[in-house]
Amino acid sequence: MSAPLIVAIDGPSGAGKSSAARALAVRLGVPYIDTGAMYRAVGLAARDRGILLPIEDAEAVASIARHARIELIPDAAGNRVHLDGRDISEEIRRPEISLYASAVSAIPAVRRSLVAEQQRLGRERGGVMEGRDIGTRVFPETPFKFFLTADPGVRAERRAAELSARGTPQPLETVRREMEQRDRDDGSRADSPLTLDGRYVLIDSTGRPLEAVVAEIERRVREAI
Residue 208 inside a domain? The answer is yes
Q: What is the CATH number of the domain that holds 131?
A: 3.40.50.300
Burial of 103 (0-12, 13-18, 19+ CB in 10 A): buried
**1 lies in a domain?**
no
Per-residue pLDDT averaged across 89-100, rounded? 92
Position 192 confidence tier, pLDDT thresholds 50, 70, 90: confident
Is residue 194 included in any domain, yes or no?
yes
How crowded is residue 82: how many other Cβ atoms within 10 Å of its Cβ? 16
pLDDT more than 90, % of the chain: 80
For the segment 158-183, the average pLDDT, to the nearest whole number, is: 90
What's the distance, CA 166 to chain centroid? 18
| Chain mean pLDDT for the chain | 93
What is the extent of the structural domain holding 94? 6-224
For residue 86, which phi and psi values (nearest 5 degrees)? -105, 135
Q: Is residue 102 part of a domain?
A: yes
Does a structural domain hold residue 72?
yes
Secondary structure, 3-state, the chain = CCCCCEEEEECCCCCCHHHHHHHHHHHHCCCEEEHHHHHHHHHHHHHHCCCCCCCCCHHHHHHHHHHCCEEEEEECCEEEEEECCEECCCHHHCHHHHHHHHHHHCCHHHHHHHHHHHHHHHHHHCEEEEECCHHHHHCCCCCCEEEEECCHHHHHHHHHHHHHHCCCCCCHHHHHHHHHHHHHHHHHCCCCCCCCCCCCEEEECCCCCHHHHHHHHHHHHHHHC
Please state the pTM of the whole predicted model: 0.91
Task: Region of 13 please: left (phi>0), alpha (psi -120 to 50) or beta.
Answer: beta
pLDDT at 112: 96
Pairing of strands 78-83, 86-87: antiparallel
Would you state the pLDDT for residue 182?
Answer: 85
Show the CA angle centred on residue 43, arms to residues 160 and 200, nearest 5°.
65
pLDDT digits (tens, 9 = 90+) for 115-160: 999 999 999 989 999 999 999 999 999 999 999 999 999 999 999 9
| pLDDT confidence bin for 196, thresholds 50/70/90 | confident
Question: Count of domains in the chain?
Answer: 1
Pairing of strands 201-204, 145-149: parallel
